[in-house]
Amino acid sequence: MEGLTKKQECASAFDAHHAPSKAIIEQCVHCGFCLPVCPTYVLWGQEMDSPRGRIYLMKMASEGAAEMNATWVSHFDSCLGCMACMTACPSGVDYGKLIEATRAQIERKTERPSGEKRHRRFMFENFTQPDRLRRMRLPLLVYQKLGLQTVARGLGLLKLLPKKMQTMEALLPKIGPREVVAQVTPAVGTKRRRVGLLLGCVQREFFSQVNAATVRVLAAEGCEVVAPQEQPCCGALLVHAGEEAAALVLAKKTVEAFERANVETIVTNAAGCGSNVKEYGHLLRDDPVYAEQARVFSAKCKDISEVLAGLEPRAKRQRLKLRVAFHDSCHLQHAQGVRLQPRALLSSIPGLELAEIPEAAICCGSAGIFNLVQPEAANALGDRKAQLIQPLEADIVATGNPGCILQMQSALARDGQKTRVLHTIQILDASIRGESSGSLLR
Ligand code: SF4
Ligand code: SF4
């Protein structure tokens, strides 16, 4: 048991399995430095929807002074898990560990309404399985290519669908050709590293061009790239939603797949997945078989921008005359502490002008499944971000997470902006391949 003594456990609303750590809860000195960066506090100004308020609610529950009733749960459901509060906190409160433990308790100890349960099950069963996502590609391709999407949106027919389906439809990516990444891609020239690539689920099926660009750039920079085809979903969505048991199964399979690949570094290019796999050591900490393997695995994981920042550039960057606004994904900037490296990559491209988006610390509203389960709040955050981007007159918004790409595309379109949203690595890949700026804008 973690966080609770035997006596506290009797009074606590939490069960004994990985209860939110009392020691971390006590580290919060209620200073409020985290409030201005917390998206839900920014939107609603309610103490209980701030990091400080949520930590207080955890404390009350752990002391048996609050029940885990629907109101209590709602304050945690509305947390985006963006970790902006961790970056802002001068006391080093590890809110990430607290919210992960709290959410697992909620899923074990409370019962969600049946409609909500069905919706969550649909997302977890489909979004964590690449083969199921692949089967969705054809109907979606037909829907888009035959112009049915344009007609349905234009005539307002989507309003006839249930709200949850409307929300998903609004976030659909543009379905393009599926680019398959080889099991092993040799380095161009002398090999400098042998790296593995985490393919992701949504990334693999709906942003396969991002994986393909990642492999090309790594190879051009002298890396042999191994992409184990048997790797499952890493379980990020499940961990962030408190579905601990299912997440552990996927974590173990992922560790095994990369052990067989025998690589020095495991490259991630989806910030949500990256922050998850870097925490496998914690997730599997008390597993008698996998604890040590998971710790070793996590220590090898790096975002693509971190990997490239550690390699002296070898491939020549060609000129791209573009103005690019960089959008920090929360799971990159707050959860992984990666802010400078993607900016440095973009700045290394001749002709490219980098623009900073104000309020960079605040989430765009994507946050795993947040924009599907809390669409009003997610849209409000997306709209706020779109309005901050508009005066920058950028050609492209660059970011490092597929969820942010979908959320920003949808928010910019709602605001009538035509700015494209791309992964940072796609821009670097285009520069190395000598493509024109125009090719990125189509
Ligand atoms: S994780 Fe984000 S939404 Fe949740 S309390 Fe922290 S800042 Fe607020
Ligand atoms: S900044 Fe840290 S210590 Fe201060 S209220 Fe927020 S979580 Fe607590």
Q: Where are the beta strands (DSSP E) in 259-352?
A: 265-268, 301-303, 323-326
Q: How many CB atoms lie within 10 A of CB 168?
A: 15
Helix axes 424-432, 340-347, angle to 10 degrees: 30
316 Cβ neighbours under 8 A, 6+ residues apart: 432
How many A from CA of 99 to the centre of ligand 1? 9
Distance CA 335, CA 313 (A): 26
Residue 194: closest CA among 259, 262, 270 = 262
Looking at residue 4, what is its pLDDT?
53
Q: How many CB atoms lie within 10 A of CB 245?
A: 10
Q: Give the DSSP letter of residue 199.
A: -
Inter-CA distances, 290 with 62, 243, 274, Å: 29, 19, 19
- Decide if 342 contacts 424 (C-beta within 8 A): yes
How many A from CA of 39 to the centre of ligand 1? 7
Distance CA 408, CA 395 (A): 14
* 433 residue type, one letter: R
The binding-site residues of ligand 1, defined as CB within 6 angstroms of any ligand atom, are: 37-40, 51, 54, 79-85, 95
Mutate to test the pocket of ligand 1, among 25, 28, 38, 46 (most ligand atoms within 8 A of CB): 38
In the numeric block, which tokens belong to residue 173?
């990516």
93 lines ligand 2 (CB under 6 A): yes
409 phi/psi in degrees, rounded to 5: -60, -45
How many A from CA of 35 to the centre of ligand 2? 8
Looking at residue 286, what is its pLDDT?
95
Query: Rounded to 10 degrees, what is the CA torsion of 154, 158, 163, 168?
Result: -80
How many A from CA of 24 to the centre of ligand 1? 16
How many A from CA of 241 to the centre of ligand 2? 23
Angle formed at CA 188 by CA 187 and CA 189, multiple of 5 degrees: 105
How many A from CA of 230 to the centre of ligand 2? 42
Looking at residue 230, what is its pLDDT?
94
How many A from CA of 238 to the centre of ligand 1? 18
Inter-CA distances, 211 with 217, 227, 382, 402, Å: 10, 10, 25, 11
- Decide if 175 contacts 137 (C-beta within 8 A): yes
Q: How far is CA 108 from the centre of its chain?
A: 24
Per-residue pLDDT of the chain (442 residues; tens, 9 = 90+): 455 555 555 689 999 999 999 999 999 999 999 999 999 999 999 999 999 999 999 999 999 999 999 999 999 999 999 999 999 999 999 999 999 999 999 999 999 999 999 999 999 999 999 999 999 999 999 999 999 999 999 898 888 888 888 889 989 989 989 999 999 999 999 999 999 999 999 999 999 999 999 999 999 999 999 999 999 999 999 999 999 999 999 999 999 999 999 999 999 999 999 999 999 999 999 999 999 999 999 999 999 999 999 999 999 999 999 999 999 999 999 999 999 999 999 999 999 999 999 999 999 999 989 999 999 999 999 999 999 999 999 999 999 999 999 999 999 999 999 999 999 999 999 999 999 999 999 8
Looking at residue 163, what is its pLDDT?
85
Name the residue with the closest Cα to ligand 2, atom 8. Answer: 28
Q: How many CB atoms lie within 10 A of CB 44?
A: 15
User: Helix, strand or coil for residue 20?
Assistant: coil
Name the residue with the closest Cα to ligand 1, atom 8. Answer: 38
Name the residue with the closest Cα to ligand 1, atom 7. Answer: 38
Atom of ligand 2 nearest to the CA of 95: 7
Give the up-direction half-sphere exposure of residue 246: CA atoms within 13 A in the CB hemisphere: 19
User: H or E element: which one contains 224?
Assistant: strand 223-226
Looking at residue 1, what is its pLDDT?
41
- pTM beyond 0.85: the answer is yes
Name the residue with the closest Cα to ligand 2, atom 1. Answer: 89
180 phi/psi in degrees, rounded to 5: -95, 130
Name the residue with the closest Cα to ligand 2, atom 4. Answer: 31
Distance CA 383, CA 272 (A): 21
Residues in the chain: 442
Q: Give the DSSP letter of residue 175.
A: P
Name the residue with the closest Cα to ligand 2, atom 3. Answer: 28
70 lines ligand 2 (CB under 6 A): no
Name the residue with the closest Cα to ligand 1, atom 6. Answer: 85
92 lines ligand 2 (CB under 6 A): no
Q: How many CB atoms lie within 10 A of CB 303?
A: 28
Atom of ligand 1 nearest to the CA of 86: 6
Q: Give the DSSP letter of residue 288.
A: T
